[in-house]
Chain A
Amino acid sequence: MTGGVTAKPDPFIHPITRLSICGLLAAGADWVEFAALRDAAGISDSVLSKQSVVLEDAGYVQVRKGAVGRRPRTWFRLTAEGRQALEGHLAWLTQLEEAVSASTRDVTQVTASSVNGRTAPRTVPSPD
């Protein structure tokens, strides 16, 4: 299932939660506040805190902490390095998605022809 997949996955963005965080930060806003990011990603406070630290240590995310009155506010921004890594990772994901749909198409065609010709398929063609 690697046919046509030339881009490489990024190990830091590979887990789906970190992909969500980076993908949302790259959506177009300069800075996104903790609660907005948490709600949009549909994750808990602790998961966002933990994963944002990993991304910050990798240099993909910039974190700014402040306070409004006594309430702490945390803002996140994707760095240039993070944006570049995300673009590469999304290219890999897109190629993977295309490869998966191509192989699904092949399997469907083989199954349909075997049913019509009443012969069992011997092999499933790989997408390469």
Chain B
Amino acid sequence: MRDVARDPVALERLRAQRSRLADRMRPPWWYLTGVAILYALVFASPFSSRYLPRGDYWAIVVAALAVSCLLQWGLDRATGMKVGPRPLRVLRDGLFYYRPGRPARIAMMVVSLAAIVTEASLIRHGLLAAAIVVAALAVAAEVALQQAALRGIRQDLRDGGGAA
């Protein structure tokens, strides 16, 4: 068995292995399609709450949750890693360390909120086409931000996750 004390590149080797592990966190083609469907369902909620009966509205909410769980399960299986919800910052050596995907996560929440509020307002004023355009743009933005968040996770894995 090899001994690290006789291997001066042990830490360098570990960095390379972490980099290989991080490279596995690349989403398959269906993942981003699924994310687009998920956000399409989310941004359809202002329309459905106004134009559909209450039962159909809840069916859309349940479908969005089901798609979200299915996507997470599929990503875990495809990458061989489970990366659950994590705090946006961690305490290390007495200092707060901001995770690399933090700006993308915050932007996702802001875009979601802004898009739903804007859509609701446009629908109230009868501007249905404008509301649909806002929803489509928001879906595209969320997919791009999801890719940025995954890049952040990859960077986090390369750096050691703010842990060891």
Q: Are B164 and A30 in contact (CB under 8 A)?
A: no
- Taking the nearest CB of chain B, how far is it from the CB of A80, in angstroms? 11
Binary contact readout A38-82 vs B (1 if CB under 8 angstroms, 0 otherwise)? 011110000000000000000000000000100000010000000
Q: Are B3 and A32 in contact (CB under 8 A)?
A: no
Q: Are B80 and A20 in contact (CB under 8 A)?
A: no
Q: Are B164 and A87 in contact (CB under 8 A)?
A: yes
Instruction: Tell yes or no: B59 within 8 A of A by CB.
Output: no
Q: Are B82 and A90 in contact (CB under 8 A)?
A: no
Instruction: Tell yes or no: B160 within 8 A of A by CB.
Output: yes
Report chain A residues within 8 Å CB of B2.
15-17
Instruction: Tell yes or no: B66 within 8 A of A by CB.
Output: no
Report chain A residues within 8 Å CB of B4.
9, 14-16, 19, 93
Query: Knowing A23-B18, A36-B80 touch, does A16 contact B164 (C-beta < 8 A)?
Result: no
Q: Are A97 and B21 in contact (CB under 8 A)?
A: no
Within 8 A of A (CB), among B1-47: 1-5, 7-8, 10-11, 13-14, 17-18, 20-22, 24
Instruction: Tell yes or no: B83 within 8 A of A by CB.
Output: yes
Report chain A residues within 8 Å CB of B163.
26-28, 83, 87
Chain B count of residues within 8 A CB distance of the other chain? 34
Closest to B164 in A: A26
Instruction: Tell yes or no: A100 within 8 A of B by CB.
Output: yes
- Taking the nearest CB of chain B, how far is it from the CB of A58, in angstroms? 15
Within 8 A of A (CB), among B37-90: 77, 79-84
Bound: A100/B81 CA distance, A: 35
Bound: A75/B80 CA distance, A: 9
User: Chain B: residues with CB nearer than 8 A to chain A?
Assistant: 1-5, 7-8, 10-11, 13-14, 17-18, 20-22, 24, 77, 79-84, 153, 156-164
Other than A16-B13, A19-B14, A28-B153, give 13 A-B pairs with Cβ distance below 8 A. A14-B5, A17-B1, A19-B10, A20-B14, A24-B14, A27-B160, A28-B159, A28-B160, A28-B163, A29-B83, A36-B24, A36-B80, A100-B8
